[in-house]
Structure 1
Amino acid sequence: MARKPQASDQWLRLDNQICFAVYSAAHAFNRVYKPLLDRLGLTYPQYLVMLVLWERDGVAVKEIGERLYLDSGTLTPLLKRLEQAGLIRRTRSTEDERQVLIGLTSQGQSLKDKARAVPSTILAASQCSVAELTAMKNEIVALRERLTSKAGV
């Protein structure tokens, strides 16, 4: 026997879920990024680490994790693969030996030149203006911050 739909059932529809919209958009982004990053020899998470290091070289593992919202269990194997690829080097801090610093190798630094085309390719694929993408990014970041503070993370 079929149950009569309730008014609150609309909130259980997949198409009404913002989390699904963000999730499926992330998958769409990944499909666009993959061939671009394959040419660089990077996965998307590795690309994010490289972006952090291209902004500022010689960053502590902890800071990379904080910037990318990744725990050390996820970050450590990722960094090992980047080191094996010759893109980064891991060294102990001379001030605090518990701290591991991540620095770019010359190969990692030169990869930045090859990566310069990625943002413009993503912009073109989005069919949005810079202003539109910036506004969307700002809204998503604000949402992330509200969710993070609500979750106590």
Structure 2
Amino acid sequence: MNAVDVAADEDLTLENQLCFALTVASRTVVQAYRPVLEPLGLTHPQYLVMLALWDHNPLSVKKVSAQLLHEPATISPLLKRLEDMGYVRRTPNVQDARALDVELTAAGAALKERARAVPPAMLARLKLSREEVRVLNKAMHNLIEAATSED
């Protein structure tokens, strides 16, 4: 077997697949969030929605979807559950009655204080420094951009 064939075979091993490493890392990191988010009563996807709203409140459903890179149909059930929990309020947009705006309630805004404990807890669980997280985030955002760009 020549060097090209050896390299091609190595490229096809499971442990060398970027998609495999990303899938497993994503699943295990999200699982690691579960016990940290449990005291807040939030799932990981709900936490991401709340993060978007804590950054920019109010937001349209379309903008929440865009920020989380999900379809509105995926975000709507999360928003419904957060509304049922008393953390957000969905109202028709003043300019476009077909669109919904999402706004934090007082309880949703107050939850941010308790959520401040999540990042340091996750740094400890994952044994990462803030700088390591910054570097990983940058690499992941570069991958997302490369994978979604249309050449």
Same fold per superposition (TM over 0.5): yes
Kindly tell me the number of residue pairs found equivalent between the two proteins: 146
Determine the structure 2 residue equivalent to 1:144.
144
Determine the structure 1 residue equivalent to 2:73.
73
Matched letter for residue 122 of structure 2: I
State percent identity of aligned pairs: 41
Distance, in Å, in 2 between the alignment partners of 1:127 and 1:135 is 14
Determine the structure 1 residue equivalent to 2:46.
46
Question: What are structure 1's unaligned runs of at least 5 residues?
Answer: 1-5
> What is the Cα deviation at residue 128 of structure 1?
2.1
RMSD value, Cα: 1.3
Say whether residues 1:88 and 2:92 are aligned partners: no
| TM-score (normalizing by structure 2) | 0.91
Distance, in Å, in 2 between the alignment partners of 1:141 and 1:31 is 21
Q: Runs of 4 or more off by more than 2 Å in structure 1?
A: none
Matched letter for residue 127 of structure 2: Q
Determine the structure 1 residue equivalent to 2:125.
125
> What is the Cα deviation at residue 126 of structure 1?
2.1
> What is the Cα deviation at residue 70 of structure 1?
0.7
| Partner SS state of residue 97, structure 1 | coil
| Partner SS state of residue 135, structure 2 | helix
Distance, in Å, in 2 between the alignment partners of 1:118 and 1:57 is 20
Distance, in Å, in 1 between the alignment partners of 2:136 and 2:36 is 22
> What is the Cα deviation at residue 114 of structure 1?
0.9
Deviates more, 1:6-15 or 1:139-148: 6-15
Question: What are structure 2's unaligned runs of at least 5 residues?
Answer: none
